Homo-oligomer: A and B are copies of this chain.
């Protein structure tokens, strides 16, 4: 496992000089890459840049080699994806004062985070993953950020169960079919709210497992990840986990915001998005190898092949690993604590690698019997890629 980038980061944190050179183990290629990296945006400048790929001020990816084997991805290397710029930092100064509007319940009204904290507290481990994670592997140059594997991370959320909030507010009103969350981003005057608002609807059943979260990985939820309050829908793609939650509605229909009606819809290449097409709700079964990451030649001998596997709302049950590009497979072993059905599992397979080229791939199976497919499902926007072939690590042993 190549943790060189991260150990260098620790040093850089200490020396406060990113320009330091020559002493560390960072490969020439990795260093050149780091040196030409875009800077972190101000709202996320506390993150560790050398474990990240800054695609833009709103899209920041975790480097494959930076994923550890300790199950939880620390917040300082967790990916960031904002659909529109985040609100001003000042909303995070007094998180308990943040107020949400709740509609579509017996007693609609407003509730501050401070009040929500008195209603209940629960913690859930889950994989947060952007719908477009893996888009960079599509051949048709799908529009959007060219993520490879790093728009995902298993994290811990703490907050109040949505069901407890609903109970306190008189229950869900009759006939409602969806939970609709609205983000608190500021939309400038003159811009059509429907065109840009981050507002997503998920099926009502998600209410049973959803949280309104104010804490991420043991610390107050930072603005970069949706603080002061985020709607968390375990097992669903990232976009449904609405940041800076300002309104929570139980609705008869899905919102007509573009991000729901035409965005995040699976359709053939060349087609436009439209209601009725599958939308990015529950995540599919997926795995990939993080170590070795294939970012440099290795010496022959025993290697611990290590990666992650998860399956949306289903627990992952099995991972197989191949070192010959998928011709033959061997069951890998899960390691570390099981954080529950929405979390990912770390897997490991010890293998003897001889001199030569190897193509390492992994294939997960979930509790419902779904098996990760070999190929991606071609689609216009490059969503939901879980094909194992494109996620291969190509390794030279010399």
Query: Which A residues fall within an 8 A CB radius of B?
Result: 1, 3-4, 6-8, 10-11, 13-14, 23-25, 42-43, 45-46, 67-77, 89-90, 92-97, 117-125, 156-158, 214-220, 222-223, 227-228, 301-304, 306, 335-340, 343, 346, 348, 350
Whether A8 pairs with B215 at a CB distance below 8 angstroms is: no
Out of B67, B69, B94, B302, which one reaches A7, CB within 8 Å? B94
Selected A-B contacts with CB under 8 Å, 14 pairs: A7-B94, A7-B95, A10-B220, A14-B89, A23-B90, A25-B94, A68-B158, A69-B158, A69-B215, A73-B218, A119-B304, A122-B335, A156-B336, A337-B343
Instruction: Tell whether A301 pairs with B92 under 8 Å between CB atoms, given A218-B74, A220-B3.
Output: no
> Which B residues touch A75, using CB under 8 A?
74
Within the complex, the shortest CB–CB distance from A308 to chain B, in Å, comes to: 11
A122: B residues at CB distance < 8 A: 335-336
By CB atoms of chain B within 10 A, which of A4, A10, A42 has the most? A10
Whether B14 lies near A70 (C-beta < 8 A) is: no
Most B CB atoms within 10 A — which of A156, A346, A350?
Answer: A156
A123, closest chain B residue (CB): B336
The distance in angstroms between the C-alpha atoms of A383 and B216, with both chains bound, is: 33
B158/A6 in contact, CB under 8 A: no
The oligomer's copy count stands at 2
The reply to whether B303 and A70 form a contact with Cβ atoms under 8 Å apart is no
Contact in complex: A348, B70 (CB < 8 Å) = no
B71–A42 CB distance below 8 A: no
A317–B223 alpha-carbon span in the complex (Å): 36
Known pairs A1-B121, A69-B121 / 13 extra A-B pairs, C-beta < 8 Å:
A3-B214, A7-B228, A24-B94, A25-B96, A70-B123, A74-B75, A77-B218, A118-B301, A118-B304, A120-B304, A156-B337, A337-B337, A337-B343
Min Cβ gap A32→B in Å is: 19
